[in-house]
Amino acid sequence: MRKNTSGFTLVEIMIVVAIIALLAAIAIPNLLRAKMSSNDSVAKATVRSLSTAAESYATANNGNYPTDITSLTSATPSFISQAYCASTISGYVYDCTMAGTGYTFAATPVTVGSTGTTTYTVTTGGVMTP
C-alpha cells in the first residue's frame, strides 16, 4: 500500500520553473525598453531646461548669453539648480558650449541602443534637433 504523501513532484516543479523563465523572457526586454525611453525623456527635458535657463539669463542681461554653466547656477536666484555640463546622468552625457552670443547644449547616449536612442541638441533660440 502506498501512503498519502504531500509535496510537489519533480515534473510539477520543472513546469513552474519553465513558466517563470518564460515570463522573465517576456518582461525583461520590455523593462529595458521602458528604461531607455525614460532616459530619452530625461535627456530631452534636461536640454530644454538648460536652453530655458540660458534664454532667461539673456533676457536678464541685455541679450548677452552666459559664457559658462556657473553663470546659470551661481546667480541669485539661480537660473538652473544643477550644473549638467560635462556630467553623465541617466545614461546620457551632457556637453555644453556657451559664448556671449549663443549656446549649444547636447545630450548624447553613453551607449546607443542600450542607455538611449537619440542625441538631442538645442541651439540658441531654443531650437531642438533630435
Q: Note the pLDDT tens digit of each residue in 92-105.
A: 999 999 998 999 99
Indicate if the alpha-carbon torsion angle 13, 14, 17, 19 is positive or negative. negative
The amino acid at 126: G
Residue 122 CB contacts under 8 Å (≥ 6 apart), including other chains: 47, 48, 50, 51, 104, 105, 106, 128, 129
Do strands 102-109 and 92-99 pair parallel, antiparallel, or not at all (unpaired)? Answer: antiparallel
| Sheet strands (E) in 1-130 | 88-89, 92-99, 102-109, 120-123, 127-129
Q: Note the pLDDT tens digit of each residue in 17-39.
A: 999 999 999 999 999 999 999 99
pTM over the 0.85 mark? no
